[in-house]
Chains A and B, each alone.
Chain A
Amino acid sequence: MSDFILTARGLAKTYQSGDRKIGVLRNVELEVSAGESVSIRGESGSGKSTLLNLLAGLDTPDAGTLSWAGTPVAMGEATRRRADFLGMVFQSFYLIPEIDAFQNVLMAARIRRAPGPAEKARARDLLARVGLAERASHLPSQLSGGERQRVAVARALMNSPRLLLADEPTGNLDEQTGDSVIELLLDLCRESGTSLVLVTHNLAHAAKTRRSLFLHEGVLRPVATGPRPVG
């Protein structure tokens, strides 16, 4: 059994644009250990989100293999395993507008099974942990952008995932709010021992992760940096 929570070997993805084939990812190699935080930066259109979708099993690579906790991910079974294994945070929050913050967090658990008292208590705890205990009954439309993203973070952690994939989670937030969301994300992952793959444009946010990678011309390369955080 591998020690890595996430292992990607030789991932490649090509898109068809008219008669042209555009190679977005070529031979991507990535290993993420348990509890490790990794940031991925790159220019716009470099394929960061495509890579994250491949890592989440939402998209199929043209070549290469993907393993979650040492078990290869087959596209057919990715959906079933995803709810247990990983959480995702998106730039646009994607909260369900018809239900309140508490129910949005609980929705991640609902999709696995009918939530009991334990799941409801965890949803309340997570909302308290992201500082929104008082706003649990508020609809997404009654929350600010930063508050919505914090609800999305709580939802991503609801099922105690072993891996959290965050796709530019501060892209729609101001600098100060974005900083606090990243701090929260890192703290929660550190506390729960959840591995984190953070896609970001923000150099400062990337610097807060243990390892930084840069996606360029479809290949992930390590970024040489100074002293890194422990997590």
Chain B
Amino acid sequence: MPWYLYLALKQLFPTGRFPFFTAISVMGVALGVMVLTIVTSVMGGFGYEIRRMIVETEGEVTIKPRVLLEDAPATLAIVRRIPGVAAASPYAKGPVMVMSQGIPAFPIFRGLDLDSVNSVTNLARFVSPAGAIDQLDDDAVILSAQLAQTLGVRLGDTVEIYSPLLIEKLKSDEVFLPRQFRVVGQLYVGHQQLDSSMVYGTLRAAQEIYGLGRRVHGINLRLAPGAGEEAVVARINAALPADQRAYLWMESWADFLWVLNLEKSINFFLLLFIVIIAAFSVMSSLLISVVRKTREIGLLGALGASPRQVALCFCAQAFVIGVTGTGLGLALGFGILAVRNEIVHGLTNLLQRQQTLQQFYQFADLPAHTLPRDLVVTTVAAIVISTLAGLLPAWRAAKLKPVEALRGE
């Protein structure tokens, strides 16, 4: 080990006494890294949960026609032959009015193809009672849990569903009566929007409500594990007729994801200032150290140390503080992330605002997902900023002339 690195470590962690200055400097960096880790992970969690929610309920890719998909079997035949496509399921969806006991609600009705839906989505996981999807028929629906609560509906109750076609029919003085559906299950995903505004029924029921005949609104696709999403979508689009197009899940949520990314970047930028302030603390500690150790610096020169090596000794101290602080910060950050839901639930229960948080942020639990890229950016930024903080003290130390330093000037 070079002497300047050895001495840097010894000065940071001296034998036989608590390294007070080092601890303060390391804690500053650690707090910055901890906050950055938590915030980027939570922001990443929102993006991840959005993906999970879409992929688990709709699949990774959706094929949408310009208006309606006239010949769904033909399109299904095309896409099922494309490498990377694991399963496909047609759907129809649109807004409806649901009435129960005089209470109206305006959710989205989604018609599922019962033969193929389970191969594309994991809806069955979120439905209670278990196996409710298998009980769906053309006269049965599954309601979002909060929607059922709003309507005061329980399993086995009946709800009336009014189609938008009602308005069209009224124009020609026809009466289009609402359809009655039996509630056979509830859906709870953990996402406010899905849990409060969805009705799931059969594809045939949806086609009837919207007067589609055999036409559908689109096809959901599940991709094979490890298949490159964008490459598969490109292959599908090359094979589809011009009036149909495949969209990757993120395209449907592009604006939301862009805002989420922007928010994450702004948060990262602002919170990085904690690390920058910590770096000033590191610089201040090291500048004090240069003053305290002026005679030792002179001695090192007298022993044959070059100014460059003396500078490296102080840069190495800043680097070690950066590395130690970053390591500690990551550990603290992941530790807090592990108990984030306990903290959030404790806080919201204390403030009686559990519902508000869920309505505002959509999720019942605080999501967290750490992207390796975010981890690398946080780690590199913290270590580089800390090391840069050592440059001024290093320059001051290197500038000292041994003969003046030995006199303590």
Contacts and interface: CB of A to CB of B under 8 A. Distances in A.
Interface residues of B, number: 27
B303 A53 contact: no
Contact of A80 (B1, B298, B304): B304
A88 interface: yes
B3 interface: yes
Nearest to B13: A98
B28 interface: no
Contacts of B304: 79-84, 108, 111-112
B185 interface: no
Interface in A95-137: 96-100, 103, 107-108, 110-112, 114
Interface in A139-156: 139, 155
Interface residues of A, number: 28
Contacts of A92: 295
Contact of A58 (B2, B15, B16, B302): B302
B15 A79 contact: no
B296 interface: yes
A94 B306 contact: no
A68 interface: no
A40 interface: no
A213 interface: no
Q: Which residue, of A84, A111, A155, has the highest number of chain B Cβ atoms within 10 A?
A: A111
A177 to B, nearest CB: 21
Nearest to B19: A98
A43 interface: no
Contacts of A111: 3, 300, 303-305, 309
A155 B7 CA distance: 16
B406 A98 contact: no
Contact of B10 (A53, A58, A88, A99): A99
Nearest to A94: B299
A173 B270 CA distance: 57
A94 B10 CA distance: 16
A59 B409 CA distance: 14
20 contacts: A59-B401, A79-B306, A79-B307, A81-B304, A82-B302, A82-B303, A82-B304, A83-B303, A84-B304, A90-B299, A94-B295, A94-B406, A98-B10, A98-B11, A98-B14, A100-B15, A103-B10, A108-B303, A108-B304, A111-B305
Interface of A: 53, 56, 58-59, 79-84, 88, 90, 92, 94, 96-100, 103, 107-108, 110-112, 114, 139, 155
Given A58-B403, A111-B3, 5 more contacts: A58-B302, A80-B306, A90-B406, A99-B7, A110-B3
